[in-house]
Amino acid sequence: MPATIDKVIIANRAALRGKYRPAGATRIEKALAGLIAADAAKGLATRIVYIDEAAQMRPFGVPPVTGPADEKGAKGAVDAIDEKLTPDYVVLLDGPDVVPHITLNAIAGLVEDDEKVPSDLPYASDAPWSQDAHDFLTVTRVVGRLPAAAAETSPDTIVAIIDRAASHAPSPPADYRDYFSISAEVWQESTKLSLKAVFGESDALAVAPPARHPAIDGDLTRLSHFINCHGATADDRFYGQHGQRKPIAMKSLAIAPNVREGAVVAAECCYGAQLFDYAMAHANPPICMSYMANGAIGYVGSTTIAYGPADSNSEADLITQYFMQQVLKGASLGRAFLEARHQFIRGQVMASPTNLKTIAQFLLLGDPSVQPCIAEPTHTTPKLTEADAKLIDPKGQRRARRLALQSEGAAVAATASRPGKVVAGRDQVSRRVANLAKGHGFEARKVAMVEARGGEILHAAMARLEVDRKVAVVMERREADGAGQTPSIKLLVAHIIGKDIVRIEKLERR
Amino acid sequence: MHERTVIGNVSRARVHTGSKSEHDAVVLITDDGRQYVLRREGGPAFDDPALDQLVGLSLVVEGLETGNTFIMRKWQDTTDCGDDEA
């Protein structure tokens, strides 16, 4: 074993053999050997750890997982491996039927249909086992998943994804500035803001409807993709929206032949990264898998129902645009997503249920060590002679970045809020929030008040300033009166310091 | 995801409120009060006119339960049957 390990691949050999049969698992192991060799050529020492094997887990001081569904065991295994090897990258191999998502509890204060939130966030945090998302706001690890859909039987897809991770060479940033973007028409103002934040303009935005296959197919060959459409559980399509109409905009099978090698995708859609069992659903592969199987090297999306406003940016808009911004700056996929998570936790009120859900539900598909494009020199990049440049050790540079990110992860968590008790609001400020909702056309008067607790630094600041923070949520769910009638639904979030309302967010109907 | 059979009444409701997938859906409400968003196997997740035809009916539905969504493989209208027959 090399003295230091830069990248660890977390796998479950028995689950791979069960899923792909022994011959398929052997093909995957060969592909992984190719990835390890390619990494070595790039200066990365990579190691596979089979977390189901007692002999492999013994040096890490934890038992093997009891099976592929052993979430607590998998989290404990990753924590122990990270503690001992301190890798720069952690790769989860295959779908949640091999290395499980951690099933987080429904987010308190949010009345919705997701009973649980399948998440890879806990693997990116050294916080101990829990099923509450707010316990994982200290995000310090660079984590990604080389994916396959649940119950896939052929190893072809995962082998192709591993091979692509091994062979990818970074491109000039200009290659990734030429983007494909599609948005539900009703969210186009929000999507334009995201595109301007990432690419500096929004001229190439396709609006659905009318945008759909085959008209969009030519643009799918671009390397950066930013998608803000509707999605649904166990569905292989994304949808646009005009008025109440939601026509199909993208289909898994139509995407497949058009994806270019090296594409990077950020999808805001509900269930946009759900690795569902498409055979059981009698459907085609999920769109995220259509991308990853056919050329994409990275994909950020959500496992569950996602949130965002119609004409401004928050929640899903921000986590996806932060990720793409870092990719364009030359970060590896994993670092780009870790920095996106930090930026989101630092800038958003994590006591807000929709923000907490966003950080829990979005995950990275792809090898986190893969660098899509080369970093462009900035005005702070020192100019070095060729001789000086040869003295710079890339491994040391990466270690320095990890040191900064570890510190940053701890710092943003210490200054972030997190949800405390959820109570029915009956005090004066709750009445003001109810009146505010009335002013925005709400008929609902019920206010859920989420008490904000602080990370260490925020808690101390709140105590010093003698203020408390709360987040008030009003959700209105009004059923249709009859055939052809459209129910009206709204969600209003008010941020409260002491007894003052300091910020209002209105999540528009999607 | 689980294969199962459910029995209930079909109506229309707003679901996934405030989220990026909020929409008016055709839902099935079971006798024990559970609400499923209905989708025909292979049918679109939104705006399926074939589902609109089922609103107001009592159904026995076979299919796939995935969270609060039910993907319908087969269904039978039991609206005009008595309780014993349903």
Question: pLDDT averaged over consecutive 10-residue blocks of chain A (510 residues)?
Answer: 83 98 98 98 96 98 97 98 97 98 91 86 97 96 96 94 97 95 96 97 98 97 97 94 92 97 96 95 96 98 91 94 97 97 94 94 98 82 76 82 87 87 82 88 82 86 85 71 41 86 72
Residues of B contacting chain A (CB within 8 angstroms): 1, 3, 12-24, 37, 39, 41-42, 44-47, 55, 64, 66-69, 71, 73
Residue B70 lies in a domain: yes
Q: What's the N-to-C CA distance of chain B in angstroms?
A: 26
Residue B17 lies in a domain: yes
Residue B85 lies in a domain: no
Has residue B85 got a pLDDT over 50? no
Q: What's the confidence (pLDDT) of residue B84?
A: 45
Q: Which of B3, B4, B21 to mutate to test the interface with A (most CBs of A within 10 A)?
A: B21
Q: A192-223, pLDDT tens digit by residue?
A: 999 999 999 999 999 999 999 999 999 999 99
Q: What's the confidence (pLDDT) of residue A268?
A: 96
Residue B16 lies in a domain: yes
Residue B82 lies in a domain: no
Has residue B86 got a pLDDT over 50? no
- CA separation for the pair A47, A369 (Å, rounded): 13
Q: CA–CA distance from B3 to each of A108, B65, B66, B74 (Å)?
A: 29, 6, 9, 12
Give the ipTM: 0.87
Q: Which of B16, B46, B73 sits opposite A305 (nearest CB)?
A: B16
Residue B83 lies in a domain: no
C-alpha distance from B28 to closest chain A C-alpha (Å):
14
Query: Is the Cβ–Cβ distance between A428 and A462 less than 8 Å?
Result: no
Taking Cα atoms as reference points, which of A332, A375, A400, A339 lies closest to residue A165?
A332
Residues of chain A neighbouring B68 (CB-CB closer than 8 A)? 113, 115
- CA separation for the pair B58, B75 (Å, rounded): 10
User: Do B69 and A234 count as a contact with CB atoms less than 8 A apart?
Assistant: yes
- Which structural domain range is residue B32 located in? 2-77
User: Do B44 and A248 count as a contact with CB atoms less than 8 A apart?
Assistant: yes
The helix (run of H) or strand (run of E) holding residue A214 is none
Q: What's the confidence (pLDDT) of residue A1?
A: 46
User: Do A476 and B22 count as a contact with CB atoms less than 8 A apart?
Assistant: no
Choose between B80 and A358: higher pLDDT.
A358
Q: What's the confidence (pLDDT) of residue A483?
A: 40
Q: What's the confidence (pLDDT) of residue A396?
A: 84
Has residue B41 got a pLDDT over 80? yes
Q: What's the confidence (pLDDT) of residue A490?
A: 63
Q: What's the confidence (pLDDT) of residue A477?
A: 62
Residue B84 lies in a domain: no
User: Do A246 and B46 count as a contact with CB atoms less than 8 A apart?
Assistant: yes
User: Do A491 and B1 count as a contact with CB atoms less than 8 A apart?
Assistant: no
C-alpha distance from B37 to closest chain A C-alpha (Å):
10
- CA separation for the pair B75, B78 (Å, rounded): 9
A74 SS3 class: helix
Taking residue A268's Cβ as centre, other Cβ atoms within 10 Å add up to: 34
C-alpha distance from B16 to closest chain A C-alpha (Å):
6
C-alpha distance from B15 to closest chain A C-alpha (Å):
8
Choose between A485 and B29: higher pLDDT.
B29
Would an 8 Å CB–CB cutoff place A311 in contact with chain B? no
Tokens 């989860």 belong to residue: A92
If contacts are CB pairs under 8 Å, which of residues 128-187 in chain A contact chain B?
A: 187
Query: Is the Cβ–Cβ distance between A261 and A229 less than 8 Å?
Result: no
Residues of chain A neighbouring B20 (CB-CB closer than 8 A)? 187, 228, 230-231, 268-270, 305-308, 316, 510
Which tokens belong to A117?
Answer: 């939130």
If contacts are CB pairs under 8 Å, which of residues 6-45 in chain A contact chain B?
A: none
Contacts of B7 (CB under 8 A, 6+ apart): B30, B31, B58, B59, B60, B61, B78, B86
User: Do B18 and A489 count as a contact with CB atoms less than 8 A apart?
Assistant: yes
C-alpha distance from B73 to closest chain A C-alpha (Å):
10
- Total domain count for chain B? 1
Residues of chain B neighbouring A235 (CB-CB closer than 8 A)? 39, 45
Residues of chain A neighbouring B71 (CB-CB closer than 8 A)? 234, 281-282
* Contact pairs from chain A to chain B, CB under 8 Å: 126
Which CATH number covers residue B42? 2.40.50.430
Q: What's the confidence (pLDDT) of residue A422?
A: 84
User: Do A268 and B46 count as a contact with CB atoms less than 8 A apart?
Assistant: no
Q: What's the confidence (pLDDT) of residue A510?
A: 41
- CA separation for the pair B43, B51 (Å, rounded): 9
